[in-house]
Structures are given as C-alpha cells and as structure tokens.
Amino acid sequence: MNTLPTIAIIGGTGKEGKGLAFRWAKTGYHVIIGSRTPEKARSTAAELITLLSGTPDSSMLLSPTVYLDSADNLTAAQHADILVLTVPYAAHRSTLESIREAAQGKILVDVTVPLVPPKVTKVQMPPSGSAAQEAREILGEGVEVVDAFQNISYEHLLAEKSVECDVLVTGSSKEARQQVLELVKAAGMTGWDAGPLENSVVVEGLTSVLIHLNKQYGLRSSGIRIIGIPAE
C-alpha cells in the first residue's frame, strides 16, 4: 500500500507543475494533475505517463506504487493531502478562492512568483508582502502555506540530470516546512528551512534577480546554492 501523501497540482498542466508532477510520480507519490479543464489535465497526465513509462494505460496506473490521475482543480484539491499551486500570479487569487474550502486542514505549497509583466526582471511584491502571505490571508489560518520552488526553472525539472539549484522553503509552521522539505528531497533537490512566511519576500523576489542575471549574462536557468556546510 502507498503510504505517501497524495499531491494535487493546481494548474498542473503548465510548465512548472508538469515538471514537479513528473519528479514526484517517478518516486512513488500519487499525483493528481489539476486544471480548469479536466480534458487538458487528462492529456497532461497521459503525456507524463508516456514520459515515465513509454505507454499510457487507461487506468493511469503505472505500477503498484506509481499513480498519476487528473481532475478539475477543485476535485483534485478535495482528493489530496498536500496541494501545490502552480498558476501565473494573475490567476493566484481567483484560483485560491476556488479551492479555499477543500484546502482547509491541509498544506498548500505556493510556487507562485508575483511577476508583473512586462517588467519581470524587477521585484514587484504585492501589498501583503509576498504571494505566499497573500495566499495565507485568502485561505485563512486553517491552511498551512509553504513557499517553495520559486527559484527552480521548469527546464531543470523534466531533465534527468540533477538540479544545480537549492530550494529555499519558508512557511507558516516549522512542521509544515519539514513536510515540504521531504517533498523537495523526493524531487531530487536540496532544500533548506528558510524560516517563516515573512521571509518569502526574499525567495519570491530572488526569481526576478535570477531572470535578470539570465538576460544580462546569457545564463541558462540560473540558480542558487547554499554554501558553508560543515564538513562531517
């Protein structure tokens, strides 16, 4: 029996959500791809199954320990233990409002970067301080909100090689951050507990700095790595 938590990816048909789904499904998590359009979710799940196994099967069952399902965003949120939000910032509030009830008592991992096109190389934080703090205000205290993966380009996620960028994890409680650090590890990356939700301003803002560096120096999906780790 699969005892790992079920993960719903809200907006899982996009670039970042698909990459995260690929990594977690590969390591045995039950992942539900969510979308506004169930058919789009279904074709994304089928695409990932093909990537993972070579042949999509009608029950979406890859092996006794690997599952990938699809649903509309609300149904996905209702059937999961952990919700992961991967939608553009313009859709952040409306999407959160649509799953607010289903999210109660659960962890919501917010991957959103509050980019305001066209100036995506400039840090432009919302009045709440960060997208994650805004999410907590919308969802209420019954939902643990954790910020993660903002600095990981989707290009790394679908690649087989290891990701050369660490993941800073901020969140509304230490316990929730710890659970998300497990997900970071399962996805093949090094995660760091980067403190309370108020610190999300740095993590989310860093993405605009990385996009600026990519443009300025012609870098390919730049990232960060934490140093100073004591030798064992």
Ligand X SMILES: NC(=O)c1ccc[n+]([C@@H]2O[C@H](COP(=O)([O-])OP(=O)(O)OC[C@H]3O[C@@H](n4cnc5c(N)ncnc54)[C@H](OP(=O)(O)O)[C@@H]3O)[C@@H](O)[C@H]2O)c1
Q: Which residues bind ligand X (CB under 6 A)?
A: 11, 13-17, 35-37, 40, 86-91, 95, 111-113, 115, 149-150, 152-154
Nearer residue to ligand X within complex by CB, 110 or 144: 110
Nearer residue to ligand X within complex by CB, 2 or 37: 37
Residue 64 Cβ, how far from ligand X at the closest point, in Å?
A: 29
Nearer residue to ligand X within complex by CB, 53 or 89: 89
DSSP annotation of 161 reads: S
Nearer residue to ligand X within complex by CB, 60 or 99: 99
By Cβ distance, which residue is nearest to ligand X?
14
Following DSSP, what letter does each residue of 177-210 receive, concatenated?
HHHHHHHHHHTT--EEEEEEGGGHHHHHHHHHHH
Answer yes or no: are the C-beta atoms of 144 and 173 closer than 8 Å.
yes
Residue 133 Cβ, how far from ligand X at the closest point, in Å?
A: 15
Residue 29 Cβ, how far from ligand X at the closest point, in Å?
A: 19
3 state DSSP class of 8: strand
Residue 220 Cβ, how far from ligand X at the closest point, in Å?
A: 12
Residue 131 Cβ, how far from ligand X at the closest point, in Å?
A: 7
Answer yes or no: are the C-beta atoms of 104 and 138 closer than 8 Å.
no
Nearer residue to ligand X within complex by CB, 144 or 204: 204
Assigned token pair, 225: 């790595």
Give the span between the Cα atoms of 206 and 123, in whole angstroms: 8
3 state DSSP class of 87: coil
Answer yes or no: are the C-beta atoms of 149 and 113 closer than 8 Å.
no
Instruction: State the helix-helix crossing angle for 92-103 and 131-139, rounded to 10 degrees.
Output: 40
